[in-house]
Copies of this chain bind each other. A is one copy, B any other.
Amino acid sequence: MDQLVLHEDPISGNCYKIQLTASLLGLPLVRRPYDIWKGETRTPEFLTNINPFGQIPVLQVGTDSFIPESGAACFFLADGDDQKGRLIPEDRLERTQMLRWMFFEQNQHETSVAVLRSWARFTGLGNLSEEQKGRLTALGRQGERALTCMEAHMQGREWFVGKKISLADVVLFAYTQIAHEGGFEMENYPALNQWIARVKGVEGFVKMDGVD
């Protein structure tokens, strides 16, 4: 297989999703770190060679293929012929439900839970712009709706889809495990806490840098 290089910032949960997917699948991954707060993904070299839109993560496959968007990169890794059925269900409806949670994550969960965590932990709540301050309440409500939706779904289930871990669990795990950093009261979500512990126990699990 072509060499896999993850262009990433280790503080980003979106990047960690790809690292975790590779680890669960036993795929070697070269990690190439950038500091987004220092503008290292906006240099002419990065824009020319890696991603003209200046965003990470980007999964590089061999020398010529570059895959932005964490969900797409995770899908690529798990979509290999020798990985069939491991993290992407072989059943058509289960595969669809996996994608359903992956789109939910990018549309409703990451846009609230991850944003508030980034503001609280890295920007600092005291340094927010007026526009950001004006969004705190609505983003908190949106994140709570997303977590409540997940909690309800996980009543009586072990995994988001089917009977074993899939990419749905991987992508939702990344920012849910650190949602408390954004001010979410995680003791309100007991089924999610049990599921978080379950993910951490899977063979091949790897922690996100800086998270216990």
A residues adjacent to B (C-beta < 8 A): 52-53, 61, 65, 67-73, 75-76, 79-80, 92-93, 95-97, 99-100, 102-104, 106-107, 110-111, 130-131, 134-135, 137-138, 145, 149, 152
A161 → chain B closest CB, angstroms: 11
Question: CA of A137 to CA of B134 in the docked complex: distance in angstroms?
Answer: 13
Q: Are A93 and B68 neighbours in the complex by a CB distance under 8 Å?
A: no
Q: Are B92 and A71 neighbours in the complex by a CB distance under 8 Å?
A: no
Q: In the assembly, how many copies of this chain are there?
A: 2
Question: CA of A93 to CA of B79 in the docked complex: distance in angstroms?
Answer: 10
Query: What does DSSP make chain A's interface, helix, strand, loop or mixed?
Result: helix
The residues of B that contact A79 with a CB separation of less than 8 Å are: 92, 95-96
The residues of B that contact A104 with a CB separation of less than 8 Å are: 68-69
The residues of B that contact A76 with a CB separation of less than 8 Å are: 92-93, 96
The CB with the most chain B CB atoms within 10 A, among A106, A134, A152, is that of A106
* 15 residue pairs from A and B, CB less than 8 Å apart: A53-B149, A65-B93, A67-B100, A68-B100, A68-B104, A69-B99, A69-B100, A69-B103, A71-B99, A72-B97, A72-B99, A75-B99, A103-B103, A103-B106, A106-B107
Question: CA of A53 to CA of B93 in the docked complex: distance in angstroms?
Answer: 20
Q: Are A72 and B96 neighbours in the complex by a CB distance under 8 Å?
A: yes
The residues of B that contact A53 with a CB separation of less than 8 Å are: 145, 149
Question: CA of A104 to CA of B58 in the docked complex: distance in angstroms?
Answer: 13
Q: Which residue of B lies closest to A95 (CB)?
A: B79
What would 6 more interface pairs be, CB under 8 Å, given A72-B96, A73-B96, A130-B134? A67-B97, A72-B102, A75-B95, A79-B96, A131-B137, A135-B135
8 closest A-B pairs (Cβ-Cβ)? A72-B100, A134-B134, A76-B96, A69-B103, A72-B99, A106-B107, A69-B100, A71-B103
A97 → chain B closest CB, angstroms: 7
Question: CA of A131 to CA of B135 in the docked complex: distance in angstroms?
Answer: 6
Question: CA of A130 to CA of B130 in the docked complex: distance in angstroms?
Answer: 12
A46 → chain B closest CB, angstroms: 15
A166 → chain B closest CB, angstroms: 13
